[in-house]
């Protein structure tokens, strides 16, 4: 037991590494929030765009969705960071990680929102048409509010799963909390900083999980 405490809960090492890991935790939170905003926002835009039923555009969206749902997150991050400079686009580790994870999340979000749109009974479209509403008002005032409610349970779980991929940013030198913990562990020759990193992850993701459950329950009651 004493050896366990010495290796994973060494107070001296934890206190020395705390400032660096706290900075890394701040980066992790920023990347996670930016990823959710980008991924969910882009997914919603793409799902609404599919509703216009433009064959060429829809085919491109389907290819995009299938591509980013298939590729591992780490592969996407590495490709964005190391491949885009050959096209004259150089991104910071922060921007590359957000763009990569946001693209992956947007693919799943598109499918979630699109499934919600398709789940709305055709009769509601017909009823809205009979009231004289045009396509855009029907989408944004009648269909989309209901589709979002249907998409919430799947979307919240997927968003949490993908934002945990912020740790993969260490592959492109993103100074997030896990990378800081690995560096501190190597310097101290003791894994206690990894314990602190795990505590930071719990500090961020447990409230996020609780909030997602409450959000799901709220929309289920609304239905």
CB atoms within 10 A of CB 214: 11
CA dist 109 to 36, 51, 97, 151, 153, Å? 10, 15, 18, 8, 11
108 vs 64: CA distance, rounded Å: 11
Mean per-residue pLDDT over the chain, rounded: 88
- Does residue 221 register a pLDDT over 60? no
94-120: per-residue pLDDT in tens?
999 999 999 999 999 999 999 999 988
Tens-digit pLDDT profile for residues 48-85 = 999 998 999 999 999 999 999 999 999 999 999 999 99
Q: Is residue 222 pLDDT above 60, yes or no?
A: no
Q: What percent of the chain stands above pLDDT 90?
A: 45
Domain count, the chain: 1
Q: CA 118, CA 127: separation in Å to the nearest integer? A: 16
CATH assignment of the domain containing 32: 1.10.3720.10
pLDDT of 219 reads 63
CA 167 to each of CA 144, 148, 188, 217: distance values in angstroms, whole numbers, following the listed order: 33, 29, 21, 29
Give the structural domain span for 163: 14-222
Q: Regarding predicted confidence, which is higher, 40 or 8? A: 40
Q: Give the per-residue pLDDT at 126.
A: 82
Percent of the chain past pLDDT 70, that is, above it, reads 97
Q: Considering only CA atoms, which of 48, 148, 41, 151 is closest in space to residue 105?
A: 41
Of the candidates 146, 152, 163, the one whose C-alpha atom is nearest the C-alpha of residue 39 is 163
In a domain, 142, yes or no: yes
| 157 within domain boundaries | yes
Q: Is residue 140 included in any domain, yes or no?
A: yes
Q: How far apart are CA 85 and CA 54, in angstroms?
A: 32
Question: Tell me: the pLDDT tens digits for 4-19?
Answer: 777 788 888 889 999 9
pLDDT of residue 102: 96
* Local confidence band at 223 (pLDDT 50, 70, 90 cut-offs): low
The answer to whether residue 60 sits within a structural domain is yes
Going by pLDDT thresholds of 50, 70 and 90, the confidence category of residue 91 is very high
The total number of residues written for the chain in this structure: 223
pLDDT value at 218 more than 80: no
Question: Region 136-163: what's the mean pLDDT?
Answer: 86
- pLDDT at position 104 is 95
Q: How confident is the model at residue 208 (pLDDT cuts 50, 70, 90)?
A: confident
Q: How many CB atoms lie within 10 A of CB 56?
A: 7
The 8-class DSSP code of residue 120 comes to S
Q: 185-206 pLDDT, tens per residue?
A: 888 888 889 999 999 988 888 8
Domain membership of residue 42 (yes or no) is yes
| Predicted confidence band of residue 37 (pLDDT cuts 50, 70, 90) | very high
Neighbours of 85 (CB within 10 A): 10
CA distance 57 to 63: 10
Give the number of other Cβ atoms within 10 Å of residue 139's Cβ. 18
Separation of first and last alpha carbons in the chain: 51
């Amino acid at each position: 037991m004493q050896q366990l405490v010495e290796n994973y809960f060494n107070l001296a090492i934890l206190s020395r590494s705390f400032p660096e890991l706290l900075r890394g935790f701040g980066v992790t939170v920023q990347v996670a929030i930016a990823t959710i905003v980008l991924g969910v926002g882009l997914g919603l835009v793409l799902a609404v765009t599919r509703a216009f039923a433009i064959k060429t555009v829809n085919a491109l969206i389907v290819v995009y969705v299938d591509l980013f749902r298939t590729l591992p997150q780490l592969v996407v991050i590495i490709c964005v960071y190391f491949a885009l400079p050959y096209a004259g686009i150089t991104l910071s580790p922060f921007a590359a990680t957000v763009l990569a994870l946001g693209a992956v999340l947007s693919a799943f979000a598109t499918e979630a929102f699109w499934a919600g749109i398709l789940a709305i009974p055709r009769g509601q479209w017909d009823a809205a048409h009979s009231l004289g509403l045009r396509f855009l008002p029907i989408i944004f005032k009648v269909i989309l509010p209901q589709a979002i409610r249907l998409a919430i349970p799947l979307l919240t779980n997927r968003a949490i799963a993908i934002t945990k991929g912020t740790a993969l940013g260490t592959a492109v030198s993103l100074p997030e909390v896990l990378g800081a913990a690995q560096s501190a562990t190597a310097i101290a020759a003791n894994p206690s900083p990894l314990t602190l990193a795990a505590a930071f992850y719990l500090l961020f993701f447990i409230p996020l999980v609780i909030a997602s459950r409450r959000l799901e329950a709220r929309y289920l009651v609304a239905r």
